[in-house]
Structure 1
Amino acid sequence: MNRRLAIFTALGIATSGLFASSASAAADYPDKPVRMIVPYAAGGGVDNIARVVATHLGARLKQPVIIDNRPGANANIGADAVAKAAPDGYTLLMGATFLAFNRATMKVIPYDASQDLVPVARTGKAPFVLVVPASSPFKTVAELVEYMKANPDKASYGAVGAGSPTNLIFPKNTGTNPVQVLYKGGAAAMPDLIAGRLTYMIQTTSEVLPSIASGKLRALAVSGSTRFGHLPAVPTMKEAGVKDLEGTGWWGLFAPAKTPPAVVQRLSDEIQVVMKQADVAAALDKLGIEPAPMPAATFAPFFEAELKSYVEVARQFNLTAE
């Protein structure tokens, strides 16, 4: 009995020591710069919101939050780097819907978004916009679809991530078969789209709004169940006759699994403050992004629901990407 008591006492001391060490580390966090990995090229939708968030989060943490662009492999290079990073809160991921659709549609992926990443906080949301070059003759989705059906060998679209359900559902539900041209980021595709080397693109608002405003691109439809405030005259996909595209994009911060809960909570709390700042809301509004903060406790079940939703979409529409 005395021997058991001694063992349990020793275990208790060791465990309490671990908790004390974790709590101490969290109390000192951060004591050096934090790296925020963006798994796309600079200038794209994920990068745009990441830079706004990083600047203001750094001010709250009193340490620089440095953007590290790691594009490639449908955003899996950057996401995998975070999944395999030390779980200490110094390597973060600006994630988005790509985490859900990659997991649902790709056959081989080097990490599990559900197991290897911990949701920290959601930051924003926005619809996707179907755009064509301003020089194109298409004024409606119906005109675009008619052209693609008549010219299947000439139609093409730009995509950031081969497995995006938005990009795969649109051709499937319009009975078209345009050629997909892949880019490492939305910004990289813009010159080709504006010049007319691509027929259309369905992209996040932050990447196309400036070109729509300047008259270089024309918006034909937006995803979501309601019209977009920045483009009130543009119909939703459903209004334009394309079903099953009511979803919208979102962005959120993730950390490696096993990051100390106290560190996750600290980051989550700071993000809630950041996303409610007037200057942050104004900066995101210019990008067509709505601040949509969600703390870790709420973001985690939201993310799991998104993962399941995209699996269902992939199953329903037989969506696969290599």
Structure 2
Amino acid sequence: MTSRITRRRALAAATLLLAGAAIAQTFPSQPIKLVVPFAPGGGNDILARAIAPRMAEILGQPVIVDNRPGAGGNLGTDAVAKAAPDGHTILIASNQFTINPALGAKTPFNVERDFAPIGQIASVPIVLVANKSQPFNTVPEFIAYARANPGKLSYSSPGNGTPQHLAGEVFARMTKTFMVHIPYRGTGPAIADVVGDQVQVTFATLASVSSFLEAGKLKAIGVAAPRASRMLPGVKSFGENGLKGYDAELWYCLLAPAKTPDATVAKLNAALNQALQSPKVAEQLARQGFDTATSTPAQLRERIAGDLKRWARVVNEHQIKVEL
């Protein structure tokens, strides 16, 4: 009896493997929808539009960028979590999804349970930038000004609970300053109002503000990281200005719905890594301030688990409470 059950289980496992192999051979059988859970103009969107054409060439099907902003990125993220697990709907996500649980955010999805990691894409430093008219140019000058004018400075972010928002909250706790947080629906409008001087500063990805810095419409005050960025020569990091342990690096990855066949995930991972290694894509992303980083699905899963623990510790240590 036992041997019969064992044979049945072995047969079932073999059937699943064959089914997965068959799916991988036919995948993709239709255009792939690459969901960006934010409005155009932010890091997710820039990366998606950089890798989509090359991945389409590799996979032999169009890769269509689909912006679905709302609820701090949760709207588009949830749509992918609920999509058919066939690899034809995937998500470009930042490590914001590892921050939400630490903030007690109630989301209809669970990062580790509802998604299949595909691979890492890139990381980018977050930079404190200001409208060019503001009277401070360095981190020490900014801290002194903020302390002398409590509540008179406002900073924008792409939304409550985003990494950029948390970068500001941790900064305020560490420097004992008080700024008013102004959340927006996406990176583009958050930066536009700093350029227009409706808001004085913002914590933004280097990729999303590099063109404004080059044009002289914004000025970089400091890099929100332990070390300076080679893309911003002459601009010191928060760590170099005495904020030891401060690190607000933003990183991005591709995810598929949970239960997407391993063979399909492997095919998407190979296409992603090949696209990132393309000289044209690598040069384009480097020019916009991104450091590309490839990985296996297993390595990405490990990084997600580690980041969930890190942000839980950061939020707890600084007693950060955010209204989501």
Same fold flag (TM > 0.5): yes
SS, match of residue 158 in structure 1: strand
Cα gap change, 1:8/1:284 in structure 2, threshold over 3 Å: closer, same or farther?
Answer: same
SS, match of residue 32 in structure 1: coil
CA offsets 1:107-151 (integer angstroms, 9 cap, x no match): 312211121112110011111110001121111122222222232
* CA distance in structure 1 between the partners assigned to 2:139 and 2:225 by the alignment: 16
- The number of residue pairs the alignment matches comes to 320
**Structure 1 counterpart of 2:125, which letter?**
P
Q: How does 1:50-129 map to 2 (within 5 A)?
A: 50-129=48-127
Match of 1:179 in 2: 180
Match of 1:131 in 2: 129
* CA distance in structure 2 between the partners assigned to 1:142 and 1:69 by the alignment: 38
* CA distance in structure 1 between the partners assigned to 2:204 and 2:261 by the alignment: 35
Match of 2:160 in 1: 162
* CA distance in structure 2 between the partners assigned to 1:252 and 1:229 by the alignment: 23
Q: Which moved more, 1:52-61 or 1:240-249?
A: 240-249
* CA distance in structure 2 between the partners assigned to 1:52 and 1:217 by the alignment: 24
Q: Is the 8 A contact 2:227 2:239 kept in 1?
A: no
Q: Which moved more, 1:174-183 or 1:157-166?
A: 157-166
How far apart are residue 16 of structure 1 and its match?
A: 3.1
CA offsets 1:217-245 (integer angstroms, 9 cap, x no match): 00010022321111110000122233332
Cα gap change, 1:153/1:310 in structure 2, threshold over 3 Å: closer, same or farther?
Answer: closer
How far apart are residue 96 of structure 1 and its match?
A: 1.1
CA offsets 1:80-99 (integer angstroms, 9 cap, x no match): 11111111111111011111
Q: How does 1:110-259 map to 2 (within 5 A)?
A: 110-163=108-161, 164=163, 165-259=166-260
Give the structure-2-normalised TM-score: 0.93
SS, match of residue 89 in structure 1: coil
How far apart are residue 10 of structure 1 and its match?
A: 5.1
**Structure 1 counterpart of 2:156, which letter?**
G
Q: Is the 8 A contact 1:120 1:267 kept in 2?
A: yes
How far apart are residue 12 of structure 1 and its match?
A: 4.6
How far apart are residue 305 of structure 1 and its match?
A: 0.9
Q: How does 1:237-316 map to 2 (within 5 A)?
A: 237-316=238-317
Unaligned residue ranges in structure 2 (runs of 5+): none
* CA distance in structure 2 between the partners assigned to 1:244 and 1:8 by the alignment: 53
**Structure 2 counterpart of 1:260, which letter?**
P
SS, match of residue 113 in structure 2: coil
SS, match of residue 111 in structure 2: coil
**Structure 2 counterpart of 1:291, which letter?**
T
Unaligned residue ranges in structure 1 (runs of 5+): none
Q: What fraction of aligned residue pairs are identical, expressed as a percent?
A: 34
**Structure 1 counterpart of 2:272, which letter?**
I
CA offsets 1:149-190 (integer angstroms, 9 cap, x no match): 232232100012322331210111111221111112111122
Q: Which moved more, 1:310-319 or 1:119-128?
A: 310-319
Q: Which moved more, 1:19-28 or 1:6-15?
A: 6-15
Q: Is the 8 A contact 1:173 1:243 kept in 2?
A: no
Q: Is the 8 A contact 1:107 1:320 kept in 2?
A: no
Q: Which moved more, 1:219-228 or 1:160-169?
A: 160-169
Q: How does 1:20-39 map to 2 (within 5 A)?
A: 20-39=18-37
**Root-mean-square deviation (Å):** 1.7
Q: Which moved more, 1:284-293 or 1:14-23?
A: 14-23
SS, match of residue 262 in structure 1: helix
Q: How does 1:4-43 map to 2 (within 5 A)?
A: 9=7, 12-43=10-41
**Structure 1 counterpart of 2:101, which letter?**
R
